[in-house]
Chain A
Amino acid sequence: MKKILQITLGIVTSVGGFLEIGSVTTAAQAGAAFGYQLLWAILLGTICLIFLVEMSGRLSAVSKHTIVAAMRERFGFPFFFIVLVGMTLVAFLVLIAELGGIGFSLQLLTGIGFPWWAIPVSLLVWLLMWKGTFGLIENGASLLGLVTISFVVAAIKLHPDWSGVAAGLAPTLPQSDKAHYGFIAVSIMGASISPYLMYFYSSGAIEDKWDESYVSVNRFIAGFGMTFGGFLSMAVLVVAAMAFQPRGVRVDSFDQSALLMTTALPRWGFYLFAISMLFACFGAALEVSLAIAYFFAQGFGWSWGEDLEPSKDARFAFVYTIIILLAAIPLVFGIDPLKVTIMSMALTAATLPLAIIPFLFLMNDPVYMSKHRNGWISNSVVAIIIVISFVLAVISIPLQIIGG
């Protein structure tokens, strides 16, 4: 009974916590610019995420190691340090984007510009990290995030052409604007397959004291939770394709994205969008901050745990304190969160091999995984998707950056 409850809660929180600023923005841009044509990128990203999240939980449940701790132990400090630098940089950009997303949502609701919200929002995130428990962060924010289901309601209300939606699930090239198409595809992959999510999930499994008996629970949560979450991203794309593409609106600013649901839900669409973004970004900001602190603490062998008093894991608390403070600074100066979001998602895709390749080695190591090692299907699916996103990133990121 306890496990059924855990599965239900796990799935619900995975759905509520799935959307964040990156997935919403990239899906909205994709739908506005290319209609349903980029649905395949969300599908691929979601499949990959299901496999990776399942593996992250399995590794922790079986080996009692988090990914970071196992990586440090298996590959040594120099290699760990390279991954630490790459992942911290990308996760830091994601944190700026999420805090910016919270500020932007508050700007929509209050009319006060997002730079004014940077410090209060960062303080609130920090305070919750300082005072809160892992359960509060994992479940509380994600349950509030269930408001993002409104995107599905909006998509259904717009009566999309379902055969067109189905056709979008198969990859095709556009007639023109191929570099932009590739760049958005990469960004969608980056938004879907965020390595910080793996580190957060694997650390969470240790915080929740999972053991081998949780292998099947983990499979259910990863499979159903991420699948339903992927539907939410697809719903955002469909809404953008229906509301923005016919009118020629492209999402070049957050202010434009606020109009996303006003066609489908005229009365509440604007406010539902703002509240959805607020909760989604808030949950993600907490998760990213925790993931960065976990990375440092687990890699350097410090004591860590969100359920511990900050005095018991002072260096862990110090890392998230500093990282949240630093992330607020560019927002105070008015850096465009949309640009940071898009760039961080593309860079996430480009750095995926750095995070995933050592992880795949760990998942095949009998010392850590004993009889729960990866099968050939898991290895192949993840390897293929990583190669696709890396190749797309190498081709389209230079084009997009230099071309502005």
Chain B
Amino acid sequence: MRLERLLVFPILFCLGCKPPSPAEQMDSMLSWLATARMTGEGWLRHTTPDTYSRQTLEMSGEKIDQIAADLLRSPPSGVDTATLDSLFTRSRVRVNAMARLIAAKNAPDFGGQLDSLGADEKRVKQLADSIEHKQ
């Protein structure tokens, strides 16, 4: 009984030390892409203020960058790293551009970037599903 108790914490420790899986990282990526899109839609509808929208898009860009770096450091097997890299880079550039367009109050260009971001998000979702399926 005592031995079992002693073993519980090392087991929990080892389980806890496990870094986030590629599927979990893809979920985080999707979450920030969706956040950027929701924020963008809100700004276009004039339901979220400029400062908040810009700050949230900047934060989304940073998070996308961070998750992409982590994910590409140990990429999921069976997925083309170059494809992932270019998709993430494109998304990050779009999100950052959207933040700048808010400062310039350029709604038409912003709308275009938002639509493209939606397409990127769909592509990331497909990749996330295929990674989860392989796991």
Please tell me if B79 contacts chain A, counting CB pairs below 8 Å: no
Give A108 to B47 CA distance when docked, in angstroms. Answer: 13
Give A141 to B35 CA distance when docked, in angstroms. Answer: 32
* Interface range on chain A (Cβ under 8 Å from partner): 20 to 34
Tell me the B30-71 residues at the A interface (CB within 8 Å).
Answer: 30-31, 34-35, 37-39, 42, 45, 47-49, 51-52, 55-56, 59, 63
Residue of A nearest to B17 (CB): A402
Inter-chain contact total with CB atoms closer than 8 Å: 76
Please tell me if B18 contacts chain A, counting CB pairs below 8 Å: yes
Given contacts A259-B42, A267-B47, contact A111 B13 (CB under 8 A): no
Specify which chain A residues have a CB less than 8 angstroms from the CB of B37 in the assembled complex: 247
Give A395 to B47 CA distance when docked, in angstroms. Answer: 42
Partner of B47, one of A111, A247, A262: A262
Please tell me if B27 contacts chain A, counting CB pairs below 8 Å: yes
The answer to whether A248 and B16 touch across the interface, beta carbons within 8 angstroms, is no
Instruction: Please classify the interface of chain B as helix (H, G, I), strand (E, B), loop, or mixed, using the class held by over half of its residues.
Output: helix
Min Cβ gap B39→A in Å is: 7
Tell me the A368-404 residues at the B interface (CB within 8 Å).
Answer: 395, 398-404
Total chain B interface residues with beta-carbon distance under 8 A: 29
Given contacts A111-B52, A398-B9, contact A247 B16 (CB under 8 A): no
The answer to whether B42 and A398 touch across the interface, beta carbons within 8 angstroms, is no
Min Cβ gap A160→B in Å is: 19
The answer to whether A253 and B59 touch across the interface, beta carbons within 8 angstroms, is yes
The answer to whether A262 and B38 touch across the interface, beta carbons within 8 angstroms, is yes
Please tell me if A78 contacts chain B, counting CB pairs below 8 Å: no
Specify which chain B residues have a CB less than 8 angstroms from the CB of A250 in the assembled complex: 27-28, 31
Specify which chain B residues have a CB less than 8 angstroms from the CB of A259 in the assembled complex: 35, 38-39, 42, 48
The answer to whether B28 and A252 touch across the interface, beta carbons within 8 angstroms, is yes
The answer to whether B38 and A399 touch across the interface, beta carbons within 8 angstroms, is no
The answer to whether B52 and A266 touch across the interface, beta carbons within 8 angstroms, is no
Please tell me if B15 contacts chain A, counting CB pairs below 8 Å: yes
Specify which chain A residues have a CB less than 8 angstroms from the CB of B47 in the assembled complex: 262, 266-267, 269-270
Residue of A nearest to B31 (CB): A250
Partner of A402, one of B13, B35, B42, B63: B13
Give A258 to B49 CA distance when docked, in angstroms. Answer: 11
Min Cβ gap A262→B in Å is: 5
Specify which chain B residues have a CB less than 8 angstroms from the CB of A252 in the assembled complex: 28, 31, 63
Give A258 to B42 CA distance when docked, in angstroms. Answer: 11
Give A112 to B40 CA distance when docked, in angstroms. Answer: 20
The answer to whether B55 and A255 touch across the interface, beta carbons within 8 angstroms, is yes
Min Cβ gap A176→B in Å is: 9
Partner of B13, one of A255, A267, A270, A398: A398
The answer to whether A247 and B28 touch across the interface, beta carbons within 8 angstroms, is no
Please tell me if A133 contacts chain B, counting CB pairs below 8 Å: no
Give A401 to B45 CA distance when docked, in angstroms. Answer: 39
Give A401 to B12 CA distance when docked, in angstroms. Answer: 11
Given contacts A108-B52, A399-B16, A402-B12, contact A247 B34 (CB under 8 A): yes
Please tell me if A360 contacts chain B, counting CB pairs below 8 Å: no
Specify which chain A residues have a CB less than 8 angstroms from the CB of B45 in the assembled complex: 266
By Cβ-Cβ distance, the 7 closest A-B pairs, closest first, are: A402-B16, A111-B51, A403-B16, A250-B31, A247-B34, A248-B30, A398-B12
A-B CB contact pairs (8 Å), 18 listed: A179-B15, A179-B16, A247-B38, A248-B30, A248-B31, A248-B34, A249-B34, A249-B38, A252-B31, A256-B56, A259-B42, A259-B48, A262-B47, A398-B16, A399-B12, A399-B15, A399-B16, A402-B13
